[in-house]
C-alpha cells in the first residue's frame, strides 16, 4: 500500500520567514495530494491541495509543488504569522480509492 513520509517532524521559524515541509510517497498511482492544518484539539482543515496533472499551485501565502518523477511534494508558507503555528499533515490518495494516507505530521512553531 501507499506510504507517505514527512519531514521535518518539528520546525521553528521566525515570524515573517518562510517555512517548507516535504513529503514523499511510494505509490506512483497516487494522484491527489492535500495538505491539512490541525490546531490542538481541533479537526484537520484543508489548506491547499494539488493533483498530479499540475506541478505547482499557489493560494496567497501558501504554495504546493509536486515532482511526480521523484514522488515528492512540498508545502511552502511565506511571510509566516503566529496563527500559522499548528501541526501540518500531508496526504496522498489515488483514483478509484479515495482513502487518504497521511504523513506523520510537522509541528510548526512561529516565533514572534
Question: Given phi > 0 = left and psi -120 to 50 = alpha, else beta, which region is 19?
Answer: beta
- Does residue 25 belong to the site contacting other proteins (CB under 8 A)? no
What is the Rg, in whole angstroms, of the alpha carbon atoms belonging to the chain?
13
Find the shortest distance in angstroms from Cβ 44 to other proteins: 5
Contacts to other proteins from residues 2-21, by CB under 8 A: 6
Cβ distance 73 to 32 under 8 Å? Answer: no
- Does residue 43 belong to the site contacting other proteins (CB under 8 A)? yes
**Could you tell me which residues are beta bridge partners of residue 106?**
88
Single out the residue of 45, 56, 67, 82 in contact with other proteins (rule: CB under 8 A): 45
Give the footprint of other proteins on this chain (CB under 8 A): 6, 31-32, 34, 36, 42-46, 49, 51, 89, 91, 93-95, 97-105
Amino acid at each position: 500500500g501507499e506510504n507517505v513520509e514527512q519531514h521535518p517532524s518539528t520546525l521553528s521559524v521566525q515570524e515573517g520567514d518562510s517555512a517548507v515541509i516535504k513529503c514523499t510517497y511510494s505509490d506512483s498511482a497516487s494522484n491527489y495530494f492535500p495538505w491539512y492544518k490541525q490546531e490542538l484539539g481541533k479537526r484537520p482543515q484543508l489548506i491547499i491541495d494539488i493533483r498530479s496533472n499540475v506541478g505547482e499551485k499557489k493560494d496567497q501565502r501558501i504554495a504546493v509543488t509536486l515532482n511526480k518523477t521523484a514522488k515528492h511534494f512540498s508545502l511552502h508558507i511565506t511571510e509566516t504569522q503566529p496563527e500559522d503555528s499548528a501541526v501540518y499533515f500531508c496526504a496522498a490518495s489515488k483514483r478509484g480509492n479515495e482513502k487518504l494516507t497521511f504523513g506523520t505530521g510537522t509541528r510548526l512553531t512561529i516565533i514572534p
